[in-house]
Every structure is written in C-alpha cells, then in structure tokens.
Chain A
Amino acid sequence: MALTETAPRLRPVRTGQPPARRRDDSRLCRTRTQRILLAVAFVAIVAFPLSVESAFLISLTGTIGIFALAALGLNILSGYAGQISLAQSIFVGIGAFAGVALGGLAELPLLVWLPGTFVAGGLAAALVAPLTLRLKGVFQIVLSLALIFVGHYAFINLPALTGGNGGISATPSLSLGFIDFGELTVAGMRYSYEQGLFILIWLVLAASMIAVVNMHRTRFGRALVAVREAETAAEIAGINAARVKVQAFVLAGAFAGLAGGLLMAQLRYVQAEQFGINMGLELLIIVVVGGLGTTWGPVVGAAVISSIPVLATQYAEHIPFLQADFSQSGEIGIPVGQVGLLIYGLALVLVMVFEPRGLSHIFGAGGRSLLRLARRARTTSEPVLVPQPHAHLGGKA
C-alpha cells in the first residue's frame, strides 16, 4: 500500500535527558567497585579461616555457607520462578547420602563425590518436578509436605546407605591431589580439617553464586522471572513455561544436593531426621528473610537465620530470659531449644511488615547510599550524576 512506502522516517522522541548510558547488563561486574569487592571476597574466603582460631566461629560460618548454598538453589525456584517448595531439605538429604555413598563408602576422590551430590540432587528433583509444578500455591505446599514424608520414608528404609534411623558416619576425602582441604598446610603451617573445609564450602558457594548471577542476567533467568510475573505472556513470547519450571526445580535440587554433600563433609555423620520439615522451613525462611529473588538474599538470610539460634545456645547464660535447661530451674524463660523457632517467626514477621524485599535490599540500599556519599565527598564542587541503580532485572547485585 502506498502509505507504507511513503511512511516518514521516525524521529526518535526527544527528551530533556542525555541519551541513556549503554551498559552491558549481562556482565558479572558492572562497576570497578564490584570488581574490587569480588576480588576482596575471594581473598577473604582464604584469609578468614586461616587467621581465625575459634573452632566455634569456623564451624558456624561453614554452616552458614552450606545453608546459603541450599537457599541459593531454593531462591532459583521460589525467588526467580515463583514456585513454593518446603521440600528443599529432602534434596539436601539426598545429596548428603549420595556423598556418604560416593565419598564415604566408595571412597571416591573429592572431584567425583562432590559433583556427584550435585547430580544426585538434580536427578531426584527431575524425577518429581513434573508432579509438583502442575500444582499452584497451597497445593504445592501440600505436595512438598508429602515429598518430605516420602523422602524420609525412603531414607530410613535404605539402611545400607543411610544407616536407617540411627544415621551413618563417613570420612570423605577433601583432596584435589595437589591440595588437600582436609589437612591444609600453608607455608609450613598445618591447619585443621574445619579450616580447610571452610575454604572449600565458600569457594563452592562463590562459584555457585557467580553461575546463578550469570543465569539470572541472561535468557534463562529472564524466562524464569517472566513465568513468575505473567505465565501466559511468557508463553506467547516463546517461553516453554513448563520446561523452564522443571529446569528451576532441577537446579534447586542440584544446589541442595551440593549443600548436602558439604554438610556431610562438615558433620561426618548424617541422619535422616535432619532433613525434615524443620530444615525445609528454615531454608524457605532464609530465602524470604534474605530477599526473594535477590543475589545476596540467600547469604544474608543464612547468616541471620542459621546463626542466631546457634549463638543463642552458645551464649544462653548471658542472655536474660533464656534458659539452657528450663524444666529444672523453675524460673520463667524461653527454653534455648525453641529460640530458633521464635527467631524465625519474628524475623519473618518483621521482614514481611517492614521490608518485603528482604534484608539484602536493606543492606544493598544502605551500601549504595554510603557509596553515593563517599563519591559526593570526593568531588565536592562538581555536580555528579550518579547512575540510578534501578531495581530492574538482575539489579540487586
């Protein structure tokens, strides 16, 4: 039609603002500050355990890393893809028992048994994913409860692998050949198993976080968020929503399995009991309190949620109203065993009411305003235009 051929060239609409800075948002680090922070983080992962003597602190921070890893997986499923699961603990258990089988019983090297826990968690998740993702909302919760019971039943009925109700111990190798995290020796100094394991845990966590950030900022990650926000519109854009959800579920299971493998290495003794509804709830609360669908949420959430009960138990005598053994003293107080539950509940309510975007958002906003202040202080006279870090896809790095 004539009109089509003579259509005038379109003038891009002019606005008062200068043209937007064209950044490549799929990069891992968008600013120099982020690059420096990343390097500092890697140095800290090695330097921290080697300079800290306290076995308690090393084991606590190791546990935080393990829970952060399992929560990182759950965050893919619940945060990015918007699917609820209370059964993440079952996949942690599957990873732990796979670790017992591969690293303990079969005595395979670290480079086999640890990736094996990742694969085991992922395979188990792939098996049940088609079931759970058919359901929505409250039905997903019901099904994940069922999954926990079925998983628990399977664990206690495979005593050769799991030790049944009594649990099973294992001493997996932490050696890469040239370096053995189990008996780390640096510059003539011999470090403990726990110190070496800390490094392994946090290196695995850092690598996993980088992998997840890469996914989140590209096609797959956008597909997850799109399915969460508007499933029909995502399908119309060519996204196979069912497939994407299964992939999210499998990844969640795989990272849970990896966390289970590391937990097994940390405790060197695992029991079916551990991987029940309590851990499932704890992981979900970590993800929610830390910030659903944020990069740092799992770590921040794990640091708060997993450490407070441990700290409370450790320092019970110094905290008023906290009773190590409530039944015998006759005094009124909160029994230490239940303080965890109380804190989970409290944290959940506080976050829901005051900042539904989670703790990592509060910390992130705080950090950014500090940075702005610092920059403004440096360039006093010149007005600077600080690029506004919008909360867009992958924004909260």
Chain B
Amino acid sequence: MKVSMTVNGKGVERDVEPRMLLVHFLREELDMTGTKIGCDTSQCGACTVHLDGKALKSCTMLAVQADGADITTIEGLANGDLHVMQESFWENHGLQCGYCTPGMIMSTTALVQDNPNMSEGEIRHQLEGNLCRCTGYHNIVKAVQQASEKMGGGD
C-alpha cells in the first residue's frame, strides 16, 4: 500500500505492507535509526516521535495510519545547532548508555512545548511513558528543568 508523509520537512513515499509499524518505516525504509525500539510493547517510549506536533510511540502506530502526516524524529529536531533540549541533556549529563535518549528528548520537547512551567514533581510524573535503565532519572529531570527555562513557551 502506498504511503506518503513528511519526515523532518522532507516528503517521502513508499509502498509498504499494511502491517509495517511506523517505527520500522522510519528505521528500515528511511534508514533513520535514531528512533529506537526498546520494549516493542508500548511501554518504554524509546520510539517516541512527533506526529503533527504530538508525541507518539511509533511502535504503536502503523505506517499506513500516518499517511499524510508530518513527522519529526530525533534526526530532525536540531536546526543547524542542537535543540535546547538536546543541549540541556548534554550539559546535565542526562544520559548514560543513551538508548532511551532520543525518545526522552522527543517526549520532553513535546511536554515542555505544551507546558513550559512544569514543577520538578510534574516533570517526574509526566516522564511515566519513558523508561531509562541507567540514569536514575535525576539528571534527565534537571535537563528538562533547564530546557523549560530556556524554551519558555515554544522553541
């Protein structure tokens, strides 16, 4: 089945099986392997991308469902310079192995765009859809706090 969508500002079109998940479309059809597969059961958030500006677990949507959509992945977040959230993860050492990081960054940029005034407690709560097996979350929370201050309502 034919699908076309915009990925990181660029139009793409492919003929795919209906059962192909969006995450496989990105990783295998487009060779964009920044988006990770952690659990493959909709729990861990490593596969988070933005669909029409909203955070989505891309292992939980078919590529054909995303036909016509505007997708942003971790590869498309930086605009020349790193995105503020990427920079904050770097500066606060918000990662160790880095496997959860693309999903963490896509999830938290969407969260902060919606609400740049989250308290530390709210940030921790809102991270419930993203799992990290390394950091213990403290530095991730610090990174999100720093980015929120800088983003102040939009990026």
Q: Do A and B come from one complex?
A: no
Could you list which residues of chain B lie within 8 angstroms of chain A, going by C-beta atoms? none
